[in-house]
């Protein structure tokens, strides 16, 4: 398991076997998206692997909204809501 995936699961209180919903549409998430991109190649900065920067997305939402500047703030807002909602359920 990639370190950023483990950080997301631990921070949100999920187990690998749990259904993890896409934070945009609610379908099954298959990607943990870096809202602020880690960069292309080389050594990505570890400060990008924090829960505030990690978001669960299904493949379609990742393709449609991830890494699209026009949606960055919207994704951040959705993620903040998901973190707050998840915290109140635990």
pLDDT tens-digit readout, 10-64: 999 999 999 999 999 999 999 999 999 876 444 455 578 999 999 999 999 999 9
In this prediction, residue 67 has a pLDDT band, given cuts at 50, 70 and 90, of confident
**C-alpha span between 84 and 27 (Å, rounded):** 19
CB 20 within 8 A of CB 14: yes
CB 35 within 8 A of CB 55: yes
pTM: 0.87
8 versus 87: which is more confidently predicted?
A: 8
């Amino acid at each position: 398991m990639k370190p950023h995936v483990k950080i997301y699961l631990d921070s949100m209180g999920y187990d690998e076997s749990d259904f993890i919903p896409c934070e945009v549409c609610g379908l099954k998430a298959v990607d943990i998206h870096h809202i602020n991109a880690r960069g292309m190649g080389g050594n990505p900065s570890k400060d990008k692997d924090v829960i505030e920067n990690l978001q669960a997305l299904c493949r379609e939402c990742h393709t449609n909204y991830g890494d699209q500047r026009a949606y960055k703030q919207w994704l951040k807002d959705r993620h903040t809501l998901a973190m707050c909602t998840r915290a109140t359920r635990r």
